[in-house]
Amino acid sequence: MSTSCYCCDERAIGQGDHVPPKALFQSGTFATLRPIIVPSCTTHNQAKSSADEYLKFILTSVAEGVPKDVRGGTIRSVIRHAKNPETSLHRFGMERTQEGLTIGKTAPVDEDILDEALGKVARGIYYHHHRGLRKLTGTIVVHPIFLGIVNDAPPEIHKTFENICKLMDEDMRSSQVHGEHQDVFKYQVFDEFDHIRINMVFYRSKSVLVIKRQSD
C-alpha cells in the first residue's frame, strides 16, 4: 500500500518534505539532529514552492527588527504592544501602509504567500504529531502573531489579537512544547472538541497560531 500525502489523498512521491522547510535551518543541522519529514504529493511538495524562501526572508527580516530584550518574551511584548496604540510597529521592523504591511518601508509583505507557507508547516506538523494517522485538511486560519497589529486597528481587532496572544502564552506556559531544534522551531498541537489549535514558534520568538474550526 502506498503512502498518501500529508495534506491530501494523493499518492506521496519522492523523499518527502521537511517540516518546517529545510531552508530555515543552518546547513549541517541534520548531520546530528533528526529532521521532521512528511510524505508529500507532487502538488504539495515544498521543493517546488517559492513560499519557503519567502517565509525565511520574512522571519529573518523581522528578527533584525526585534530588540534583544523582546526576544525572550515576544508574546508578552506583543500583548503590551497591542494594548498601547502609542507604541510603534517599528519595534518589529514592520509598518502598515495603504499598500499593506511593509518591512522598513520597502518590501510589502505578501500575506497570501506567508499564509500558505505557514499553513503548510502547520499541516505537516499536525500529520507528524499524530504519526501519520491524522491530517489537517480544509480551511485553516493562520495568525502570524509576530507581525504585530496595526496601531489604528478597530478596538475589536485589538481585542481579538490580544486574546490570541493570551491563549498562546497560556498554552506555552502550561503544556509540553515539542521540537528537537527548539532554537529554530517548536510547536504544540491541541485537539479540542470544536477546533484544532497549533502553536508554532520560529527562532524562539516568532509566534504563529493556526486554528481549524471543526465546522469549516
Among 19, 36, 41, 196, binds Zn ion (CB under 5 A): 41
Name residue, grid cell 505557514.
118
C-alpha span between 103 and 65 (Å, rounded): 9
**8 counts as binding Zn ion under rule CB under 5 A:** yes
Going from the C-alpha of 55 to that of each of 24, 32, 108, 154, 195, the distances in angstroms are 8, 24, 13, 28, 25
Looking at beta carbons only, is 18 or 81 nearer to Zn ion? 18
Cβ 39 to Zn ion shortest distance, Å: 9
Among 5, 94, 168, 211, binds Zn ion (CB under 5 A): 5
94 near 147, Cβ under 8 Å? yes
Cβ 59 to Zn ion shortest distance, Å: 24
Residue nearest to Zn ion (CB): 5
**136 counts as binding Zn ion under rule CB under 5 A:** no
14 near 48, Cβ under 8 Å? no
Cβ 40 to Zn ion shortest distance, Å: 6
Name residue, grid cell 499564509.
115
Among 18, 44, 56, 123, binds Zn ion (CB under 5 A): 44
Looking at beta carbons only, is 16 or 144 nearer to Zn ion? 16
**10 counts as binding Zn ion under rule CB under 5 A:** yes
**13 counts as binding Zn ion under rule CB under 5 A:** no
C-alpha span between 186 and 177 (Å, rounded): 7
Question: CB atoms < 10 A from the CB of 51, how many?
Answer: 20
Cβ 51 to Zn ion shortest distance, Å: 15
Please say whether the dihedral angle defined by the alpha carbons of residues 138, 157, 169 and 72, taken in this order, is positive or negative.
Answer: positive
Query: How many amino acids of this chain bind Zn ion (CB under 5 A)?
Result: 5
Cβ 129 to Zn ion shortest distance, Å: 18
Looking at beta carbons only, is 92 or 127 nearer to Zn ion? 127
Cβ 136 to Zn ion shortest distance, Å: 12
Q: What is the CA radius of gyration of the chain?
A: 17
Q: Give the DSSP letter of residue 9.
A: S
* 3-state SS class at 29: helix
Looking at beta carbons only, is 11 or 83 nearer to Zn ion? 11
Residues that bind Zn ion (CB under 5 A): 5, 8, 10, 41, 44
